[in-house]
Amino acid sequence: MKTKLSVLGRVYTFLIYFFLYLPIFVLIVFSFNSSNSRTIWSGFSLEWYGELFRDSVIMSSVYTTLLVSFISALIATVFGTAAAIGFFNMRGKMRTHLLNVNNIPLMNADIVTGVSLRLLFVAAFFALGRAFGAINGFLGTHLPVSFDLGFGTLLIAHITFNVPYVILSVMPKLHQSDRNLMDAALDLGCTPISAIWKVVLPEIMPGIVNGALIAFTMSIDDFVISYFTAGSKTQTLAMAIYSMTKKRVTPKINAISTILFTTVLVLLIIVNIRSLRQSKNNDAKQKKGILK
Amino acid sequence: MKSRAFAYPYVLWMALFVVAPIIIIVVYAFSASDGSFTLDNFSNMELYLSVFGRSFGLALIATITCLLLGYPLAYALAHEGPRAQGIMLMLIMLPMWMNFLLRTYAWMSLLEKTGLINRFLGLFGIAPLNMINTPFAVVLGMVYNYLPFMVLPIYSVIVKIDKSLLEAAQDLGAKPSTVFTRVIFPLSLSGVLSGITMVFVPAVSTFAISKLLGGNKTMLLGDLIEMQFLGGSYNPHLGSAIALVMMVVVMVCMFVMNRFGSDDEQVVMF
Amino acid sequence: MSKELIRLKDVSMTFDGETILDNMNIYFNDKEFLTLLGPSGCGKTTTLRIIGGFLTPTSGDVIFDGVRINDIPPHKRQVNTVFQRYALFPHLNVYDNVAFGLRIPKPYEDVSSVALSEASGGKKRKKKLSETEIKSRVTEMLEIVSLKGFEHRSVSSLSGGQQQRVAIARALVNQPKVLLLDEPLGALDMRLRKDMQQELKRIQKQMGITFIYVTHDQEEALSMSDTVVVMNAGKIQQIGTPEDIYNEPKNAFVADFIGESNIVDGIMREDNVVEIFGRKFRCLDKGFAPDEPVDVVIRPEDVDIVDVKDGALTGTVTSVTFKGMHYDIIVDFKGFKWLIETTDFCPEGSRIGIKIDPDGFHVMKKSEYSGMFGDYSSYSAEYDEIGDVEYEESSLEDEADEV
């Protein structure tokens, strides 16, 4: 009976994976199509990859995406780790309230986060413009009086939605770590700062690295929030793709998909092989330990 | 302890970029373009009741479909060997790392009138089906994009269920189906709830999926909001009001559901 | 004499090519408190899981009341288990945990069930119990385990001892013929353990059913059981009453595992005469071949300390440990170190003589364990190991992972 169930489970699992991967497979196949049809196969070519790399709009959007993802992940990681340590050392209501606020960007719909930040930026720029205008009028300076949404606002938005992920992945590590570690370090003569640097940080490092990776991928994947906060001149890859899908269909999109898919696949395989090796090593060590 | 000071910069950041924007949304929702207080934004929403209905309806259908498809998958996954589990999990997450616009775009070429599915059906002499630009296509897009959000939390709860609990249930006379209904399912409820949240919230607020797969006929809340900020009918006050109502309705739904569900404290993410 | 209820016939269990149970033959009587005792990895938990139906033996038969039940799944067996870490359902409160088994309709239809329901006194189980009946049985059971008033508490808010009681009530409320207990007291502290031992014994007497109890704690086994089964390396070493096991161990393993023992090589010169260290002593054992080499067990409390001139043997005290009621001293006899319990203080380095009464000797046939146990040369190390609570905990864990 157990085997019957698992056979059924296997078939079912296979069907779901088929559903998940069929569209991607089709996408990849037609990236090598020589005509610009995405449904009729007319021969193998790499033409669309060439087109893609010559497309300066796409290339600059890739650059923007990588830049904003990297910087925002970096800042969010530092910010989030510090905040997690701070929250962890608060107690009671204060901590609960702050963590609830921290969860807002996670729970909120992306579009709400996006438009609310957009409103904030526009309002802030308006106020700043007024203030600078007044100063200019008063002092005769030439401070700018109008601002546009752009890379700066995009970066702030990305940091804002990335920090909660970092906190969420660092917090459990802090809970797991031994509360006495910090005290032990202080007891042995560390200052609080060096105790955190030398003892607490190494202890929670896996959580920090994990948080940084999540933040980076969230940034790369984001479309909705960027769409509302980047303004008209700055464009991330997702935004470029969106405007392409709205206009004429071109297999360049298939080419981007293929490149993204293979990049992620290769990265995942590397990570998995590494962790597999590590766990194998650990197994071997454990076995040796038992057998002595 | 001084180390709580580490949180202060981020607390300031949250005040500026998390709390302030929400306050601004509320302010915008309750004001006219000249800045005076008004409730018109809400009363004008009457025009868009059908959009609200369609958005919540389609999101609900997509969420239920995800649950029905995702739960058995999560269950099957949790019962594989550790190595197969690792690979299968990776395969579930892999499409998530490709931008959702690309995943949605992929369905366009499958669903089109002259798309691959219709051409495949044509081989058997079946007349082309009208699939793209229908609510069906939108739901399909939602299910396709958000299914992993349902599978992962449920999987991570099921896989952590102590095997001895299942043995205990059997020991007390429960046959396999009873073990499932009395022990496994109740214990996986927290995962189901966070799965539902993680699918429903983006589904109800999406705007790209409906644009790409639903054409102009199936406008959803997301499209409506987007139009008020970036589209033709520029009116951030109305847009804020719609966003606010959507947010409140979603929060009320989640609150009620969590009350009915379990009093389990944590929300399971990955 | 009570009748036989469960029998394991030639049961073997191999796992990944490793033999965990080696051709085991044992039977369990109705209404008895039987303990499977042995170090971690000896196969005692495996035995229990085979009876519970969670494992199917590689070969051999499991017989319940005359019927082979190898292929009957756990939910159809009239046996209930108290799990190592309780396995209480976290989503249910105390009452619902206990009521869990009662709420499951049990249509015993297949062949085996006839025998099973006959075993429960010929009474066929009802298909489904009414909630009032469930309530009265749960309440009654909670009273038996002294948890009245805890009905609506969540199980996670209970202490270890209380959780333990819930686990026992949850199993017993189904009126099983046999209750299986897998190291149920392992996670409790010393004091609570002692209380729960009494409690378990009382419950077993009150319910009048068979308890099969697994533990690695010899003191627990001796104080609670009607019958003790000592196991090692997948084999039964000895079955007997606690007194038999302590006083008449069958081999060096049992002698060492149960209590402290000095085990020395000896030669059985004739009936009632044994020779150790080249001297003959009177003993009560007989039935060995003339001049047969044997293992001789001398319990630390059976040795009397006398003046050197009166001693049958003389040795040097090498270490003294104060134990409250008595001293543990280690005495070197010609390079072989003995542990002796005495109320007389003997300073380290002093020469003493010893005397042993004939009933202080226990003579055993040579076995595969001869020469492996019973020497206290590395006394302190071994002592630490025994006294260390964490060691026990971790060995418990090993056993949990073993199957």
| Domain annotation for chain B: domains and CATH numbers | 48-220 (1.10.3720.10)
Are C159 and C91 members of one domain? Answer: yes
Is B227's Cβ below 8 Å from some Cβ in C? no
CA C204/CA C120 separation, integer angstroms: 17
CATH label of the domain that carries residue C273: 2.40.50.140
Per the structure block, which two tokens stand in for C381? Answer: 């190390």
Please indicate, yes or no, whether residues C36 and C9 belong to a single structural domain of this protein: yes
Contact A30, A251 (CB under 8 A): yes
pLDDT of residue A118 exceeding 70: yes
From chain B residues 157-216, the ones with a CB under 8 A of any chain C CB are 162, 164-165, 167-175, 178, 182-183, 186-187, 189
Q: Which of residues 228-257 of B touch C (CB under 8 A)?
A: none
Query: Using CB atoms, which chains have 3+ pairs under 8 A with B?
Result: A, C
Residue C29 belongs to what H/E stretch? strand C18-29
Task: Name which of B69, B216, B218 is nearest B145 in CA terms.
Answer: B69
Q: Is the pLDDT of residue B46 over 80?
A: yes
Judge: A82–B99 Cβ closer than 8 Å, yes or no.
no
Min CA distance, B175 vs chain C (Å)?
Answer: 6
HEC secondary structure over C139-189 = HHHHHHCCCCCCCCCEHHHCCHHHHHHHHHHHHHCCCCCEEEEECCCCCCC
Neighbours of A139 (CB within 10 A): 9
Strand partners, C182: C214
CB–CB of C79 and B174 under 8 A?
Answer: no
DSSP B115: S
Which residue of chain B comes nearest to C90, CA vs CA? Answer: B187
- List all residues of chain B from 127 to 166 with a beta carbon under 8 Å from chain C: 162, 164-165
Mean pLDDT in residue range C151-177? 88
Asked if A22 and B110 come within 8 Å (Cβ–Cβ), the reply is yes
What pLDDT does A292 receive?
34
Please tell me whether residues C230 and C210 are part of one structural domain: yes
Max mean pLDDT among A30-44, A118-132, A177-191 falls in A118-132
Report how far residue A252's alpha carbon sits from residue A30's, in angstroms, rounded to the nearest whole number: 10
How does residue A290 score in pLDDT terms, banded at 50, 70 and 90? very low
State the burial class of residue B48 (Cβ atoms within 10 Å of its Cβ: 0-12, 13-18, 19+).
Answer: middle
The secondary structure of residue C21, as a DSSP letter, is E
pLDDT confidence of residue B13: 93
Do the strands C303-306 and C351-356 form a parallel or antiparallel pair, or are they unpaired? antiparallel
Specify whether the CB–CB gap between B75 and B158 falls below 8 A. yes
Instruction: Choose which CATH entry (3.30.1330.10, 3.30.413.10, 3.40.50.300, 1.10.3720.10) describes domain A52-251.
Output: 1.10.3720.10
In whole angstroms, how far apart are CA A97 and each of A94, A170, B37, C334? 5, 18, 30, 74
**Average confidence (pLDDT) over A247-269:** 85
Residues A112 and A119 sit within 8 Å (Cβ to Cβ): no
Biggest distance spanned by C-alpha atoms of chain A: 87
Long-range residue pairs from A14-17, CB within 8 A, at least 24 positions apart, any chain:
A16/B69, A16/B73, A16/B147, A17/B88, A17/B91
In the 3-class helix/strand/coil scheme, how is A188-223 assigned residue by residue? CCCCHHHHHHHHHHHHHHHHHHHHHHHHHHHHHHCC
CB atoms A228 and B230 under 8 Å:
yes
Q: Are C255 and C364 in contact (CB under 8 A)?
A: yes
pLDDT of the residue at B35: 82
Find the farthest-apart pair of alpha carbons in chain B and give their distance in angstroms, rounded.
Answer: 76
Tokens for B90, please give them.
Answer: 């990776």
**Rounded Cα gap, residues B231 and B229, in angstroms:** 6
From residue B60, alpha-carbon distances to A8, A42, B152, B250, C84 in Å are 28, 41, 19, 11, 43
* Residues A95-123, mean pLDDT to the nearest whole number: 90
Would you list the DSSP string of C90-144?
A: TTSBHHHHHHTTTTS-----SHHHHHHHHHTTSPPPPSS--HHHHHHHHHHHHHH
* Residue B59 and residue B203 in contact, taking contact as beta carbons nearer than 8 Å: yes
Can you state the percent helix, strand and coil of chain C, rounding each to 5? Answer: 30, 35, 35
Q: Which of A22, A96, A111, A273 to mutate to test the interface with B (most CBs of B within 10 A)?
A: A111
C72, C92: one domain: yes
The distance from CA A226 to its chain's CA centroid, rounded to whole angstroms, is: 12
Burial of A56 (0-12, 13-18, 19+ CB in 10 A): exposed
Greater confidence, B54 or C19? B54
- ipTM more than 0.95? no
Q: How far is CA C338 from CA A166, A169, B15, C263, C298, in A?
A: 62, 58, 75, 9, 9
Residues C134 and C258 in one domain: no
pLDDT of residue B4: 81
For residue C306, the cross-strand partners are C353
Interface test with B, best of A10, A20, A35, A149 (most B CBs within 10 A): A20
Q: What stretches of C200-272 adopt beta strand conformation (E)?
A: 210-215, 227-232, 235-240, 262-270
C192, C215, C246 — which closes off a domain?
A: C246
Q: pLDDT class for B265, splitting at 50, 70, 90?
A: very low
Contact residues on chain C for B174, CB-CB shorter than 8 A: 75, 100-101, 104
CA separation for the pair C159, A190 (Å, rounded): 38
pLDDT at C212: 92
Looking at A110-114, C209-213, C240-244, C257-261, which range is the least confident one?
A: C257-261
Q: Tokens at residue A181, please? A: 């570690």
The enclosing domain of C8 has a CATH number of: 3.40.50.300
The stretch B69-93 carries a mean pLDDT of: 89
| Residue C203: predicted pLDDT | 87
Distance from CA of B170 to the nearest CA of A (A): 14
- Enumerate the residues of chain B whose CB falls inside 8 A of the CB of residue C52: 167, 171
Q: Find, in chain B, the residue whose alpha carbon is nearest to that of A239.
A: B101
Residue B263 contacts C where some CB pair is shorter than 8 Å? no
The span from the CA of C116 to the CA of C119, in Å, is 5
Look at residue C400 and tell me whether its pLDDT is greater than 60: no
* Cα C52 to Cα C68: distance, rounded to the nearest angstrom: 13
pLDDT at residue C396 is higher than 80 = no
Select from A156, A107, A147, A129 the least CA-distant residue to A233.
Answer: A147
| DSSP 8-state class, residue B234 | -
Mean pLDDT check: name the lowest of A119-128, B58-67, B255-264, C312-321. Answer: B255-264
The dihedral formed by the CA atoms of B69, B70, B72 and B75, expressed in degrees to the nearest 10: 170
Average pLDDT over residues B206-211: 88
Indicate whether C116 pLDDT > 50.
no
Nearest-angstrom CA–CA distance, B94 and B83: 17
Q: Are residues C123 and C19 in the same domain?
A: yes
Q: What is the CA radius of gyration of chain C?
A: 24
Residue B161, both tokens: 């269920």
> C196 pLDDT exceeds 60?
yes
Question: Does residue A287 have a pLDDT over 60?
Answer: no
C398 pLDDT above the threshold of 50? no
Q: How far is A12 from chain B (nearest CA, A)?
A: 7
Q: What is the mean pLDDT of residues C278-289?
A: 81
What pLDDT was estimated at residue A147?
Answer: 86
- Give the model's pLDDT for residue A72: 96
C230 and C342 share a domain? no
Residue B265 CB contacts under 8 Å (≥ 6 apart), including other chains: none
Interface probe for C, chosen from B170, B171, B188, B190 (most Cβ of C below 10 Å), is B171
Averaged pLDDT of chain C = 80
Tally the residues of chain B. Answer: 270
- Per-residue confidence (pLDDT) for residue B23, from 0 to 100: 94
What is the rounded CA–CA span in Å between residue C108 and residue A226?
Answer: 63
Q: C194 lies in which domain range?
A: 4-246
Q: Please tell me which residue of chain A has the smallest CA distance to B254.
A: A107
Here the tokens at position A139 are 């002092």
The per-residue pLDDT for C397 is 39
Q: Please report, for chain A, the start and end positions of each structural domain, with discontinuous segments joined by +.
A: 52-251
Assign B54 a pLDDT band (cuts: 50, 70, 90).
very high
Average pLDDT, stretch C59-83?
88
Mean pLDDT of C351-365: 84
For residues C235 and C253, membership in a common domain is answered with no
Q: Are residues C341 and C279 part of one domain?
A: yes
The lowest-confidence range among A176-185, B261-270, C54-63, C269-278 is: B261-270
Nearest by Cα to C230 from C42, C23, C32, C30: C42
Out of C246, C264, C281, a domain closes at C246
Q: By mean pLDDT, which of A102-116, B37-51, B239-253, C122-136 is the weakest?
A: C122-136
Could you give the residue ranges of the DSSP H alpha helices within C235-351?
A: 242-247, 252-257
Task: Tell me, yes or no, whether C192 and C291 share the same domain.
Answer: no
Decide if C74 and B171 are in contact by the 8 Å CB cutoff.
yes
Mean pLDDT, residues A95-113? 89
Which of B82-86, B205-209, C119-123, C278-282 is least confident?
C119-123
The mean pLDDT value of chain B amounts to 87
Q: Taking CB atoms and an 8 Å limit, are C171 and B171 in contact across chains?
A: yes
pLDDT at residue A285 greater than cutoff 70: no
Q: Which residue, of C246, C277, C304, is where some domain finishes?
A: C246
**pLDDT computed for residue C107 by the predictor:** 55
What pLDDT does residue C191 have? 81
Residue that wins the pLDDT comparison between A3 and A173: A173
Distances (CA, A) of A58 to A49, A234, C270: 12, 12, 102
Q: Do B99 and A246 touch (CB under 8 A)?
A: no
DSSP state of C382: H
Specify the number of domains making up chain C: 2
Mean pLDDT of C280-294: 82
CA–CA distance, C396 with B212 (Å, rounded to integer): 59
Burial readout B26-38 (b: 16 or more C-beta within 10 A, e: otherwise): eebbbbeeeeeeb
The pLDDT-based confidence of C365 (bands split at 50, 70, 90) is confident
Mean pLDDT of A279-292: 54
For residue C242, give the nearest of C221, C257, C259 by alpha carbon.
C221
State yes or no: pLDDT of C131 exceeds 90. no
Same domain, C181 and C39: yes
Helix H, strand E, coil C: the string for chain A is: CHHHHHHHHHHHHHHHHHHHHHHHHHHHHHHCECCCCCCCCCCECCHHHHHHHHCHHHHHHHHHHHHHHHHHHHHHHHHHHHHHHHHHCCCHHHHHHHHHHHHHHHHCCHHHHHHHHHHHHHHHHHHHHHHHHHHHHHHCCCCCCCCCCCHHHHHHHHHHHHHHHHHHHHHHHHHHCCHHHHHHHHHCCCCHHHHHHHHHHHHHHHHHHHHHHHHHHHHHHCCHHHHHHCCCCCCCHHHHHHHHHHCCCCCHHHHHHHHHHHHHHHHHHHHHHHHHHHHHHHHHHHHHHHHC
| pLDDT at C148 exceeding the cut of 80 | yes
Q: Are residues C315 and C178 in the same domain?
A: no
State how beta strands C210-215 and C336-342 pair.
unpaired
